[in-house]
Every structure is written in C-alpha cells, then in structure tokens.
Amino acid sequence: MLGAARRQLGSGPMLGQVLRRLRPASADAARGYAAAGKEITVREALNTALDEEMSADPSVFLMGEEVGEYQGAYKITKGLLDKYGPDRVLDTPITEAGFTGIGVGAAYQGLRPVIEFMTFNFSMQAIDHIINSAAKSNYMSAGQINVPIVFRGPNGAAAGVGAQHSQCYAAWYAHVPGLKVLAPYSAEDARGLLKAAIRDPDPVVFLENELLYGESFPVSDEVLDSSFSLPIGKAKIERKGKDVTITAFSKMVGYALQAADILSKEGISAEVINLRSIRPLDRAAINASVRKTNRLVTLEEGFPQHGVGAEICMSVVEESFEYLDAPVERIAGADVPMPYAANLERLAVPQVEDIVRAARRACYRAVPLAATA
C-alpha cells in the first residue's frame, strides 16, 4: 500500500537554514538536572524518537519534501531512508496538499504516517486536509474512523526569513476540536512528546522550533529508554517559585528561565511553567501555580490577538480570579507581519528584558514613569 502511495522525487536539495543559539549555562542551573546522564541535541532527540517508533511499529512511515535522499532539510530524518527503505521514508514533490492528503488517507486505513512540513508556514497549503479531513473525521464518523497521524516541522520565527516564514501556528491549530497540539522545548520534551504523538490514535500537530534543533540538553537514562514517552496534556514546572508564575512554550521557555534567573537576583522568585501541550492545555497546573504565586505572566512569540496567552489569561480569570494580587501580564509577538531587517525582527518578538519588566510590574517592583521623568 505504501508503494502505491509513493510519489516520484520532485524536489531537489533545498538547503534549510539551520541556526544554533547557545543556551546560557544559568538555564541548566535553574532547571536543576540532578538525574541527567548525558546531553543530546533536540535534533538527536527527534531523530532517535522517529527511529525507535519506526522500529517498534511497521505501520509508522515518514513522508515529506527531502526527508529521504537529502536526509531531511534539518537532518531530523538522517539515516532513516537507509535503514527502512523507500517504502517507509517517502520523498515527495513540493505539494503539501498532495502528500498531506495521501497521509490522511493512509491513516484512515490504519497506518501511522508522520508528515513533515519543511516549515509550518507551508502547512497552510494543506490546512483543509489537517482540519476537515483529519481533525473532524473521528467525530463525524461517530468514532468509527481514527486518524493516527502526526504533522511535524519547524514553527514560529527563525532568523532573517521574512514574514511568510515566521508565524507561530500554535493558536491557529489549538483552536480546532479534534486536533492535539504539542510544542516541545528541550530534548526530553522532543523525544517524549514525539513518541506519544506517534502512538496516539488522533491527529497531532507537532510544533518544533528551528533555532532549538542544535541546542543540547541534559537527559536522564529514563529519557533515553526506548519505552519512554510523555503524557499529552501535562505541563512541566521547569523552575519552582513563589512570587510570580510565567507560562511559556517552545523556545520561549528558555527565555523565561533566563528572566527567572535575573529576577532571582532582585529577590523575585519566578515559577516557570513549560506548557508542552497547547491543546489539551494543562489548566489545572497553571491555576494551581497562580493560586500559589498570585501573579501571572504569559509568554509566547505568536500574535497577541486570540493567542495562547489570551486563553490562559481567561482560564485563570474563570477559575482563580480571587487569587490574583495583580493584573495579568501578557507578552506576545508584535501584531505585525514579521520584518526582515534584523533590528526590526528583534523588536517584533519577545526578549528576556520584556519578561523581566512584566514580572517586575506584576510584583509591583517597577519604577513609576513619573519617577523617571
């Protein structure tokens, strides 16, 4: 069946911009990796997760542009074509609507496709299949059709790639019933959540970040075990605190940890929550933290209107309003298409200093504007 679904190679080598940014050493200290055995990159975590799930389940296969002969635009699928052959690692033409539709049809028949988008911006070409064909089928068939498919690839802003390649799709896809939406930060997240996504009976949108692929994170022996997976819908407290809660996902978790380190030197104890799962959202963990700290700062790099932060704020207002000692602070990307110029690009996405200022305001530590005049 896979052989019938296979398309001729239609895309030549298209070099992906693989950029590395070093995480400050303070981030490791903030997270307190006591049981870590070694370090692996997010790229290695994703690659080994795919390899192990393909080895364990012959119904798992990969499809996308350059996933095979070119080893993946970001080398996430490196070595998998040689190991599993062209019937399970399928290079496609540049036609997202085409190969996504093939993948959804294969999932209808009990296979477990993993569809790679070279960037999630290109998923807009296939959004009808993702939403109308994948997300709604279980409901519309009264539970008779499961769609065990994963849509994965880099999401959000990279660096210098312009407005059409720099959007965060977390809020877009989290809006849709029937989809599960995951956004890993660390190597542990990437490995555990991708395994869970592949094993899940429902369609999963898996939002990676290009700038995190080359970052290394400590992992424990448990994380490296082939049976390891993380539960979908559960957030992780990356750093405990008592004065203010900061929620974040994907690359912004690292920024939140850096901000928490700066705030600690000022006597502000920030609790950092790595959401991991955008839909379902771990409302219980968020509200429990806010009921302890009495303050909330939400952080995301997507657009502010109807964003993930807006949903979190509303959840806290609905469930924990009486616990709030300060207005909620919401940090998001600028409400403009992403500029290409580096200086304007920096202004369009949240920075560590933005988080620090918001936390200070929430804790009433900010200097009044009148005092600086």
Q: Given the residues 52, 66, 96, 238, select the one marked as catalytic.
A: 96
310-331 in b/e form (b: 16+ CB < 10 A) is bbbbebbeebbeeebeeebbbb
> What are residue 40's DSSP bridge partners?
217
Would residue 96 show up in a list of annotated catalytic residues for this protein?
yes
Would residue 165 show up in a list of annotated catalytic residues for this protein?
yes
Q: Report whether the peptide linkage leading into residue 280 is cis, meaning its omega lies within 30 degrees of zero.
A: yes
Q: Given the residues 165, 210, 301, 345, select the one marked as catalytic.
A: 165
Tell me, letter by letter, the H, E, C secondary structure of the chain: CHHHHCCCCCCCCCCCCCCCCCCCHHHHHHHCCCCCCEEEEHHHHHHHHHHHHHHHCCCEEEEECCCCCCCCCCCCCCCHHHHHCCCCEEECCCCHHHHHHHHHHHHHCCCEEEEECCCHHHHHHHHHHHHHHHHCHHHHCCCCCCCCCEEEEECCCCCCCCHHHCCCCHHHHHCCCCCEEECCCCHHHHHHHHHHHHHCCCCEEEEECHHHCCCEEEECHHHHCCCCCCCCCCCEEEECCCCEEEEECCCHHHHHHHHHHHHHCCCCCEEEEECCEEECCCHHHHHHHHHHHCCEEEECCCCCCCCHHHHHHHHHHHHHHHHCCCCCEEECCCCCCCCCCHHHHHHHCCCHHHHHHHHHHHCCCCCCHHHHC
Which of 4, 349, 5, 21 has the alpha carbon at shortest distance from 210?
21
* Catalytic residue annotation: 96, 165
